[in-house]
Amino acid sequence: MTISTIGVPMDLGADRRGVDMGPSAIRYAGLASTLGNIGRSCVDAGDLTVPHAEERDPEARSIEANAKYLDEVESVCTRLADEVASSLDDGALPLVLGGDHSIAIGTLVGASRDAEIGAIWFDAHSDVNTPETTPSGNVHGMPLAAALGMGTFADTPWANAPGLREENVVLVGLRSVDEPERERIRDSAITAYTMSDIDQRGVVDVTEEALDIATDGVDGIHVSLDLDWLDPSHAPGVGTPVRGGVTYREAHSALETVADRDADTGVLRSLELVEANPILDSHNETAELGVELVASALGKRVL
């Protein structure tokens, strides 16, 4: 399947500037040549146009005045949803490059427009805050809540992914979760695995079980990879680093497990790589690691 690369250079959903340069850093790290070397045809659809923060007022919020730049996020994610859906209609697999994690709203809406999907969320954070629970107002902490219509997002149809159900959403590798998010996860049908689960069971076992849950009764799955899922010693170039993340080899093993399942069943519908921040990076190593992990998810092997 052809890979359709869509860049979304947005940092409006995050506290720290710089992730808007993520798509360029990932491309510069050799994404196209790496995918070509594993036999995957790659078509680059370029970048969506995203407003600059300097041109906007972060206090001009929506939804109970506690979601920064939400109008801009809506505009970008609506266009991204159309791009993702168009790629799928053309028979391609959309690979979305962020940018902050708020862009996942658009990816999930587009990927589920004409299909029932599951989602695997490789992330240090659960991203199920809503405007009424967020401590920061940053929308990159809300994309799953938005896509699932939680809280006040129930009244924002542009953000609700039509074919995504809680029962098929799996969070893998959590280690930084706000108390309202804990309660929301406990009260939902979402499945969540913390880093303690990975420590006790191993990342392959956890990922296999996550795939079983995400793929149950759906047409395909979306895989969202936030680079802060990895320990900062391996991925320093992220805006919200949290110690105690997965190692280099654990990350590759998890994505290789996804690729193995996809090779057997063709279940992978869309893929997303977010939160690479070149300003905070060293010699682009985080973006280079991101490219390696994308390649593992799409079938690269040593032999």
Tens-digit pLDDT profile for residues 148-189 = 999 999 989 999 999 999 999 999 999 999 999 999 999 999
Q: Which of 53-62, 136-145, 193-202, 256-265 has the lowest mean pLDDT?
A: 53-62
Q: Is 15 annotated as a binding residue?
A: no
Q: Is the pLDDT of residue 56 over 90?
A: no
Active-site residue flag, 47:
no
11 labelled ligand-binding? no
Token duo for residue 198: 């990975």
Percent over 70 (pLDDT), the chain = 97
Active site residue 123: yes
Is 55 a residue of the active site?
A: no
Q: Is 155 a catalytic residue?
A: no
Q: Please say if 228 is a catalytic residue.
A: yes
How confident is residue 28, by pLDDT bands cut at 50, 70 and 90?
very high
252 in catalytic set: no
Q: So what's the pLDDT on residue 27?
A: 98
User: Distance (Å, rounded) from C-alpha 113 to C-alpha 102?
Assistant: 18
Distance between CA atoms of residues 100 and 192, nearest Å: 22
DSSP β-bridge partners for residue 3: 42, 93
Choosing from 74, 100, 140, 252, which is the catalytic residue? 140
Structure confidence at residue 42 as a pLDDT band (50, 70, 90) = very high
Tell me, what's the pLDDT at 73?
Answer: 94
Q: Is 127 annotated as a binding residue?
A: yes
Per-residue confidence at 303, pLDDT binned at 50, 70, 90?
Answer: confident
Cα 67 to Cα 36, 55, 72, 215, 284, distances in angstroms: 40, 17, 11, 32, 31
What does the mean pLDDT of the chain come to? Answer: 95
- Paired sense of beta strands 42-47 and 117-122, if any: unpaired
pLDDT of residue 58: 59
Integer Cα distance of 66 and 258 in angstroms: 36
Domain covering 3-297 in this structure, CATH number: 3.40.800.10
pLDDT for the residue 64 = 53
Starting at the edge strand found earlier in the chain, the sheet holding 164-174 runs 42-47, 3-8, 93-98, 268-274, 220-226, 117-122, 164-174, 191-194
Which is more confidently placed, 222 or 66?
222
Cα end-to-end distance, the chain, whole Å: 21
Question: Would you call 169 helix, strand, or coil by DSSP?
Answer: strand
> In which element (H, E) is residue 120 found?
strand 117-122
What's the chain's Rg over C-alpha atoms?
Answer: 17
Cα–Cα dist 67/6, whole Å: 25
